Chain A
Amino acid sequence: MTAPFESKNDPEQAGLEGLSVSELAARLREAEETIDAIRNGEVDAVVVGGPSGQQVYTLQNADRPYRVLIEQMQEGAVTLSGDGTVLYCNQCFATIIGIERENIIGHTITRFFGDAEIGTFLQLLARGLNTGASGEFVLHGAGIAAVPVNISLIDLKVDEETPRVVCCVVTDLTHSRRRTHELAAANILLGKEIEERRRAEGSLQLALDAAGMASWDLDLATRLVRRSVPHDRIFGHTRLLPAWHLETTLDQFLPEDRAAVAKAFAQASTSGAIEFEKRIRRSSDGAIRWLQVKGRTYYELGKPVRIAGIVADVTEFREIEERMRQAQKMEAVGHLTGGIAHDFNNLLTVILGNLETMQRRLGATATDLPQLRKLAEAATRGAQHAASLTQRLLAFSRHQPLDPKVLDANKLVSGMSDLLGRALGEQIAIEAVLNGDLWRTFADPNQLESAILNLAINARDAMPDGGTLTIATSNVDLDRAYANQESEVTPGSYVLIAIADTGIGMTKEVIAQAFDPFFTTKDTGQGTGLGLSQVYGFVKQSGGHAKIVSTPEAGTTVKIYLPRFAGQELPNEVEPETELPAAVPERAPARDRAETILVVDDDNDVRSHSTDIVRELGYRVIEASTGRAALEILDREPEIALLFSDVGLPGGMNGKQLADEAHRRHPHLKILFTSGYAKSAIVHDGRLDAGVQLVAKPFTFAILAKKISEMLKMDANVPTILVVEDDELVRMVAVDALELLGFRVEEAGSAREATDKFRAAPDSIQAALIDVGLPDQKGDELALTLRGIAAKLPIVIVSGYGSGIAQGPLKNETGIGFLGKPYGSTQLAAMLATVGIDAPAG
């Protein structure tokens, strides 16, 4: 145990002389304690005086904390001698270069450097005492890739005796390098993106500006619109308004358009898009401007959050468009007047010229009937052409509805060979290449014929010096790839009818316009320009597709694709040739001549002469010599169709009386008188009673044969046709035509009159001919009214638009015919025949 020592004096001046014993004892104790402390290991450093002053020496292991610190730190630590020999290195450095410490210390450090860097490092090393320096190098260790490091070194003088020691701290830069690289790459990418976006925004703005458009962005939560200066400028604000709500937008639209605009915005939330063109009153000048607004809705988690889009002032565009449309219309009208006026003038010339000539001749002499007929026929032809022209106009305007039927295009084409031969002339050869297994198609046969004829005539005109017209049919499947190439084509199965010529061909420009109405390459007056447009209109309406393939100077092929008919064939498949409007209607079939004729004559010779003739004509004959006998026979033999009687009969009952009584008993009996006296009992006021015919004696075989034949052909019940037409002139024409055909006619000028007449005697009227445009009721409705009285009444509806009302209330009715104006007696007879009414006489 040592005691602390005390010292009153300054130790520097302490000397032992003159000190008291106690002081000396204290000094001694202090010295002993110091020695004890050193001996006991309580100190680990001593202070030693030297020539250059005090120095501190630590004892062995006293620097342990330093060592641990150096050993454990995550940087390489190296001490080098002046020539670069490694005197010491820590574990971290060994790890960095991947070599055991034992193999590093004592060796020169430069062996870990690449040749290029050794010089630089040695320069760094040679900088001199107390100078710090650092540099980046690449170290090449064993079995590892080159390691980028930063080496900081300082040249230290430890003391006079110790040689130079250079201390180095080596930092592995691999990770930071990688991080730096990544960071740099990210930076570059970010920079590029920013640049790209800025450029895109810039060019978008530029493009919008150039297009006169502006963008807007409506926040649905706040109803605030984010927009740019051009946006406000479009609405007529020279400066950006401080705030712009949806209401601001709405307020600027005209009051009558506002509701629609508000609705468009409201609907955009659900529909996902907005687009409209409405008018605003521009706030700068009060002008009414058309604005086009287009946008799209953006959703977050399924909820609409904003609508963004563009706005543009399209007023001028609309004006230009309007002017252009007007110009196009004028051009079309120009074509129309040019083409049609010429055609019409030609036709009218024919009609007028012939009529004038007829009048002249009628004035001069009424005997030249064959000549008059010729003139009348010429006039009729002219009028018919005019009528067909109006039909084509109607077809073009698509007012003429189609009457599609299941048809065999091969049959139709074959049936046209005569017609085509005549139309094309001898210089042009016609070839038909028909596919034997052709599918059926479903189209209007008349229109198809008309289309083929139109194309054939075009082909003829393209081959002024002759050539070959080929009509080919085939089955075609148009796939999606084809449909994508051609606009307006639906993929599917089609029947292809190709009409090819070897003519002058068409240029691309002509092909592009060929289907346009009124477009023609023919001289003015030569064509109306409606032919191909009729073809196009018809094909499109039939769900098909038309295409022109042409090479100038080589020829043109027009391809008509009509949809394949896939359903069951209808039992009443129509033979196209019987459907031609120009075809002569089939006459009532020749009756077999088994009818029975009762011949009544008191003169045996005359009676046997008559009987011979009748029998020779093929009829059954029964004879009677008196009126009473005749009546008895009539009662006994109800199938007697005709009573052929002499007017003058003996026995108290003359021919007239017999006829009256016979007619009373058998109303359908036909009666033919013969008489040697012109005007006798049967003739009143120079006219025969109705239903009574007279053949004067002496009669020849031919005359009697003709008379009987006519009378038997005329059904006893001559059908009565009710003609309903408000135009008196038109009605007269119809009545004349019907009477000419042998019909009886009832007339009505209005629907009410027609209904009254029919209701009064429904059995006396067998058919009705109704004009569609009546003053008090529509024709189709009248037809239904009449059908209400007699369910199966055959009806023919006459219209200026063909069968335009076929889709109306009558679409479920059968036995109704449609006849377009103007019509001739043959068309009338044909149409009546189709509804089941045969004309009694030709």
Chain B
Amino acid sequence: MSDIQKELATSDLDIGEYALRLYVAGQTPKSLAAIANLRQICEDHLAGRYTIEVIDLLVTPQLAAGDQIVAVPTLVRRLPQPLKRIIGNLSDTERVIVGLDIRPKRSETI
């Protein structure tokens, strides 16, 4: 196994830790801000433990029904359970961390 394959395997294993889905509507200013804010928060607090899926509802509006999206942008934590939603442009980092219920890595748990 090459290093890259190892890395991929590892990330597969980790997929389940924080699986996040961000719903946006094209390039509206809030959508763009949300994408940028989420990427930053995840890198700062969930490095190596998350996956992000961005869904543009202008392209696939039918996907809005599945997660009962009403307003855009909306971030949905699909894993770990239970499912959580955060609405807005994710500019309030504290609120996002709380909302996502981010905990330290297991190895760091005391």
Chain A residues in the interface with B (C-beta under 8 A): 1-8, 11-12, 30, 33-34, 37-38, 40, 42-47, 49, 53-56, 58-59, 61-66
Chain B residues in the interface with A (C-beta under 8 A): 24-32, 57-58, 61-62, 64-74, 77, 81-89, 91, 95, 98-101
Are B27 and A37 interface neighbours, CB within 8 A?
Answer: no
Are A42 and B87 interface neighbours, CB within 8 A?
Answer: yes
- B69 CB contact (under 8 Å) in A47, A62, A66: A47
Are B68 and A11 interface neighbours, CB within 8 A?
Answer: yes
Are A6 and B84 interface neighbours, CB within 8 A?
Answer: yes
- Counting chain B CB atoms within 10 Å of each CB, the highest count among A4, A54, A64 belongs to A4
Q: Compute how far the CA of A46 lies from the CA of B57 in the bound complex, rounded to whole angstroms.
A: 10
Q: Compute how far the CA of A332 lies from the CA of B65 in the bound complex, rounded to whole angstroms.
A: 124
- Counting chain B CB atoms within 10 Å of each CB, the highest count among A3, A53, A62, A66 belongs to A62
In this complex, what residue of B is CB-closest to A37?
A: B87
- Can you offer 28 A-B residue contacts whose CB atoms are under 8 A? A4-B77, A4-B84, A4-B100, A6-B82, A7-B84, A12-B68, A34-B87, A38-B71, A43-B72, A43-B74, A43-B89, A44-B28, A44-B29, A45-B24, A45-B72, A47-B61, A47-B69, A53-B62, A53-B65, A54-B62, A54-B64, A56-B61, A56-B64, A58-B25, A58-B28, A63-B26, A63-B28, A66-B26
Are A44 and B25 interface neighbours, CB within 8 A?
Answer: yes
Are B72 and A44 interface neighbours, CB within 8 A?
Answer: yes
- Other A-B contacts than A8-B82, A43-B72, 9 sampled, CB-CB below 8 A, are A30-B85, A42-B30, A43-B71, A47-B70, A47-B72, A49-B65, A54-B64, A58-B28, A65-B27
- A1 CB contact (under 8 Å) in B25, B31, B89, B95: B95
Are B25 and A4 interface neighbours, CB within 8 A?
Answer: no
Q: Compute how far the CA of A64 lies from the CA of B85 in the bound complex, rounded to whole angstroms.
A: 27
Are A45 and B61 interface neighbours, CB within 8 A?
Answer: no
Are B32 and A56 interface neighbours, CB within 8 A?
Answer: no
- B29 CB contact (under 8 Å) in A8, A38, A47, A62: A62
**In the assembled complex, which residues on chain B have CB atoms less than 8 Å from the CB atom of A3?**
98-99
**In the assembled complex, which residues on chain B have CB atoms less than 8 Å from the CB atom of A66?**
26-27
| B92 CB to nearest chain A CB (Å) | 9
**In the assembled complex, which residues on chain B have CB atoms less than 8 Å from the CB atom of A61?**
29
Q: Compute how far the CA of A338 lies from the CA of B7 in the bound complex, rounded to whole angstroms.
A: 119
| A385 CB to nearest chain B CB (Å) | 124
| A613 CB to nearest chain B CB (Å) | 161
| B34 CB to nearest chain A CB (Å) | 9
**In the assembled complex, which residues on chain B have CB atoms less than 8 Å from the CB atom of A6?**
82-84
Q: Compute how far the CA of A40 lies from the CA of B71 in the bound complex, rounded to whole angstroms.
A: 12
In this complex, what residue of B is CB-closest to A38?
A: B71
Are B87 and A33 interface neighbours, CB within 8 A?
Answer: yes
Are A37 and B71 interface neighbours, CB within 8 A?
Answer: yes
- B88 CB contact (under 8 Å) in A40, A46, A56: A40
**In the assembled complex, which residues on chain A have CB atoms less than 8 Å from the CB atom of B98?**
3-4
- A44 CB contact (under 8 Å) in B31, B69, B91: B31
In this complex, what residue of A is CB-closest to B86?
A: A4
In this complex, what residue of B is CB-closest to A61?
A: B29
Are B82 and A47 interface neighbours, CB within 8 A?
Answer: no
**In the assembled complex, which residues on chain A have CB atoms less than 8 Å from the CB atom of B73?**
43, 45
Q: Compute how far the CA of A53 lies from the CA of B66 in the bound complex, rounded to whole angstroms.
A: 12
| A537 CB to nearest chain B CB (Å) | 105
**In the assembled complex, which residues on chain B have CB atoms less than 8 Å from the CB atom of A5?**
84-85
Q: Compute how far the CA of A1 lies from the CA of B97 in the bound complex, rounded to whole angstroms.
A: 13
**In the assembled complex, which residues on chain A have CB atoms less than 8 Å from the CB atom of B74?**
43
**In the assembled complex, which residues on chain A have CB atoms less than 8 Å from the CB atom of B86?**
4
**In the assembled complex, which residues on chain A have CB atoms less than 8 Å from the CB atom of B32?**
65
**In the assembled complex, which residues on chain B have CB atoms less than 8 Å from the CB atom of A59?**
28
Q: Compute how far the CA of A12 lies from the CA of B83 in the bound complex, rounded to whole angstroms.
A: 13
| B36 CB to nearest chain A CB (Å) | 13
| B73 CB to nearest chain A CB (Å) | 7
**In the assembled complex, which residues on chain A have CB atoms less than 8 Å from the CB atom of B57?**
45, 47, 54, 56
**In the assembled complex, which residues on chain B have CB atoms less than 8 Å from the CB atom of A65?**
27, 29, 32
**In the assembled complex, which residues on chain B have CB atoms less than 8 Å from the CB atom of A46?**
70-72
Are B30 and A43 interface neighbours, CB within 8 A?
Answer: yes
| B21 CB to nearest chain A CB (Å) | 13
**In the assembled complex, which residues on chain B have CB atoms less than 8 Å from the CB atom of A34?**
70-71, 87
**In the assembled complex, which residues on chain B have CB atoms less than 8 Å from the CB atom of A7?**
82-84
Are A42 and B89 interface neighbours, CB within 8 A?
Answer: yes
Q: A37-B87, A46-B71 given as contacts; is B61 within 8 A of A53 (CB)?
A: yes
Are A8 and B81 interface neighbours, CB within 8 A?
Answer: yes
| B37 CB to nearest chain A CB (Å) | 11
Are A43 and B88 interface neighbours, CB within 8 A?
Answer: yes
| A30 CB to nearest chain B CB (Å) | 7
In this complex, what residue of B is CB-closest to A57?
A: B25
Q: A11-B68, A47-B70 given as contacts; is B29 within 8 A of A64 (CB)?
A: yes
Q: Compute how far the CA of A242 lies from the CA of B82 in the bound complex, rounded to whole angstroms.
A: 86
Q: Compute how far the CA of A65 lies from the CA of B66 in the bound complex, rounded to whole angstroms.
A: 28
Q: Compute how far the CA of A46 lies from the CA of B25 in the bound complex, rounded to whole angstroms.
A: 9
Are B84 and A45 interface neighbours, CB within 8 A?
Answer: no
Are A62 and B71 interface neighbours, CB within 8 A?
Answer: no
Q: Compute how far the CA of A77 lies from the CA of B33 in the bound complex, rounded to whole angstroms.
A: 27
In this complex, what residue of B is CB-closest to A33?
A: B87
Are B70 and A45 interface neighbours, CB within 8 A?
Answer: no
